[in-house]
Structure 1
């Protein structure tokens, strides 16, 4: 059974805009084979059926088979720590799906641009993506948004993020309505934060 129908239904019911980028079938097959996953999983369904998902005006970029400058989900896999980057946010935050301690199932971890630290969200990929598509981003990013962010973020290409100066990890950068923001390549924004 293909999980895409469940994912698509959840996308259709999302409280904010979600755009599925056109998948590259060759890259999708390669990614599925690299991970040894099928379309019965939500991760496999997203990889097979999308180049990625732009969630909540593009604030979150969930990786799929790669499209419009977004890498595919295998591009950021790190066999050394066995983690898989599954999404980036526009400010350079990273969502990484990795094995948990003591043999527990893998969970999604978030590297936040305001704390510069990793947080275990204690959700597997399916539960995390379901929560994201069901509206969890609104509360999750409450302190990192500013008036008018929707138009500013929505105008960015999928491979672009926002540099913020002073950064949100500083006292001076805590209020993002008062900082300088400029478009930059998304992976450059991610690298700056790490």
Structure 2
């Protein structure tokens, strides 16, 4: 494991570039404050340099909220998004800090979608972002690395990306949403007959529970489809 001084890049850190992207962002972007000691712990436990965009976000933010918190990009944790990248991955993609994961969870959204960096779990396109879509329960490639994903969050038409997953009054519910909670829907968004989001009932649940539930359902669906 590299020590914290080796991970903090003083000559060419990525954060100034991230701030430039935020200055010109088309979507609403909010940087959550970070505690310096917590930021150092998170950076050390993730073992990434601040030369990288991922390291810069972890070390310089408690997380980044997009569209009032519809998307939550994980950093080093804050009261409104009380989980860091390494804390969130421990017990899911790694057993202990310093382990090399097959994929790394780096962001999620209010409707139970999860974004992860591929380190071999999903295919040969290493370091590209995949999205565990709540309406398919499949890891879908975004064809972008982490930096491009951050810029996608800042600048892309999210209403198009989330077509069919945003109900008409969604923005009235998101602004005060706890970053550790997500919406669960009935009927399930991945129901084979298809759903109308406007007719679904919504319930706030712990994002942790929803992730585990989605993975379990994904295994069930995969096993049932492979046995057909």
User: Please, what TM-score do these two structures have when normalized by structure 1?
Assistant: 0.90
8 Å Cα contact 2:159/2:166 also seen in 1: no
Q: CA deviation at 1:80?
A: 6.5
CA distance in 1, matches of 2:183, 2:107: 15
Residue number in structure 1 paired with 2:110: 90
- The CA deviation string for residues 106-157 of structure 1, in whole angstroms up to 9 with x for no partner, is 1111111100111121211111111111124232111211111111122312
1:44 matched to 2:55? The reply is yes
Q: Are positions 1:59 and 2:57 aligned together?
A: no
Superposed CA RMSD: 1.9
Structure 1 segments unaligned to the other structure (5+ residues): none
Name the residue aligned to 2:222: none
Higher alpha-carbon deviation: 53-62 or 20-29: 20-29
- 2:189 matched residue in structure 1: 168
Q: Report the structure number with the largest CA radius of gyration.
A: 2
Aligned equivalents of 2:144, 2:82: Cα separation in 1: 24
Greater mean alpha carbon deviation, residues 43-52 or residues 3-12: 3-12
> Hey, what's the Cα distance between the residues in 1 that align with 2:46 and 2:25?
28
Counterpart for residue 145 of structure 2: 124
Residue aligning to 1:29 = 40
Q: Which consecutive residues of structure 2, in runs of 5 or more, have no partner in the other structure?
A: 1-11, 216-228
Map Cα deviations across residues 51-102 of structure 1 (whole Å, 9 max, x no partner): 1111112111110001224311112143464311000111111111022545
Report the CA distance shift for 1:173/1:163 in structure 2 as closer, same or farther (over 3 A).
Answer: farther
**Which structure 1 residue ranges, 4+ long, deviate > 3 Å from structure 2?**
none
SS in 2 for 1:40: coil
Q: CA deviation at 1:182?
A: 2.1
Provide the aligned length of Structure 1 versus Structure 2: 193
Q: TM-score, normalised by structure 2?
A: 0.77
Whether the 8 Å CA contact 1:107–1:123 is kept in 2: the answer is yes
Query: Aligned runs of 1:143-158 on 2, under 5 Å?
Result: 143-158=164-179
